[in-house]
Amino acid sequence: MYGNSPQGGGTDRPAHPRKRVTAPLLRERKGGEAITMVTAYDFTMARLLDESGVDMLLVGDSLGMVVQGHETTIPVTLDEVSYHTRAVARAAHSAHVVADMPFMSFQVSANQALENAGKLVKEGMAHSVKLEGGVEVAEHIQRITRAGIPVVGHVGLTPQSFHALGGFKVQGKNDESARRIVEDARALEQAGAFAIVLEAIPPDVAAQVTRAVSVPTIGIGAGTECDGQVLVCYDMFGMSLGHRPKFAKVFAELGSAMQSATRDYIASVRAGTFPAAENCYAPSGASAHPSAPRAKRSGRKLAAV
Ligand code: KIV
């Protein structure tokens, strides 16, 4: 009935040529083939991205904005990330699935961070977790990695600090701020992070960070001198509403294609051209009268049944 039902392709694992992308394999990609990461929040999108060959699927707390319609990522809860991660993990045959730790799920203490990272791996079926912050979360990352959970760090623009930063603003624009970002990245590496997301920083600062750490850097709005790139799927597919940052390249205008398809659907239903014979099951034979093509329906009141 639906696209993911057994008749519609199934959730059974098809023979798939790619091997699982693991944290150690990603760690080895430093300075090598560029890492590709894309956000995903549901099974179907994750399956399409996984089958296209993306290395990492990030269940970002950006879901608060693009899925839930909030203005920031701050309201997102651990249970919500866990729920979406489970759906994505079911779809990912090869890609490495990273679950984002939402606001206040790791900041309180190293114990809290470990417990909640554990939930995202155990209940959400994530392969690793990502958390925002620098020196101040290094101890938390150490606790998580020592428990056997791989961690991705995130420095530069950290959207969970929206209020402290005064909005979604480019970071590292002066020497002091750039120096702090490099220091933060070094602290994350020392704490055991296997990769670090660099968000919204000038390309020369990203290049400095990439040279300063031995783990891969994954940029978003951080220029070309990173070991990989990440995009929000709704941005790259032209489905985002409202402001789209300049780094969010649209690789396909699917949003306008969806609206055009929806207008076609509405017109077809109203004109009586959908469903056509090929969209209908065979008649049961119980009816005395073979079904005639439906008349154009626009503006016509339906008779009571
Ligand atoms: O939540 C998210 O989607 C992210 C990416 C922008 C890196 O953190």
- Record the tokens describing residue 236, joined without a space: 């790259």
Give the up-direction half-sphere exposure of residue 230: CA atoms within 13 A in the CB hemisphere. 24
Q: Measured in Å, how far apart are the chain's first and last C-alpha atoms? A: 26
- What dihedral angle (degrees, nearest 10) is formed by the CA atoms of 231, 171, 226, 71? -10
- What pLDDT is recorded for position 285? 83
- What pLDDT is recorded for position 7? 38
Choose one of 154, 232, 234, 240 to mutate for the ligand 1 pocket test, by most ligand atoms within 8 angstroms of C-beta: 232
Other CB atoms within 10 A of residue 37 CB:
27
Share of the chain above pLDDT 90, in %: 85
Amino acid at 33: E
Q: Give the residue whose CA is nearest to atom 1 of ligand 1.
A: 60
* Among 218, 300, 262, residue whose Cα is nearest residue 54: 218
Q: Sketch the domain layout of the chain as residue ranges.
A: 6-252, 254-305
Q: What is the pLDDT of residues 146-174, one digit of tens each?
A: 999 999 999 999 999 999 999 999 999 99
Rounded CA-CA distance 154/124 in Å is 20
Identify each DSSP E strand in 168-305 by its residue range: 195-199, 217-220, 228-231
- What pLDDT is recorded for position 6? 38
Rounded CA-CA distance 154/164 in Å is 16
Give me ligand 1 centre to Cα 278, in Å: 43
Q: Give the residue whose CA is nearest to atom 4 of ligand 1.
A: 60
| CATH code for residues 6-252 | 3.20.20.60
Residue 80 bears catalytic tag: no
- Record the tokens describing residue 42, joined without a space: 């549901």
Distance set, CA 269 to CA 184, 197, 266, 272, 282 (Å): 57, 46, 5, 5, 20
Q: What is the pLDDT of residues 213-253, one digit of tens each?
A: 999 999 999 999 999 999 999 999 999 988 888 999 999 99
Q: Residue count of the chain, please give it.
A: 305
Other CB atoms within 10 A of residue 19 CB:
9
Q: What is the pLDDT of residues 48-81, one digit of tens each?
A: 999 999 999 999 999 999 999 999 999 999 999 9
* Among 218, 221, 247, residue whose Cα is nearest residue 235: 247
Rounded CA-CA distance 63/70 in Å is 9
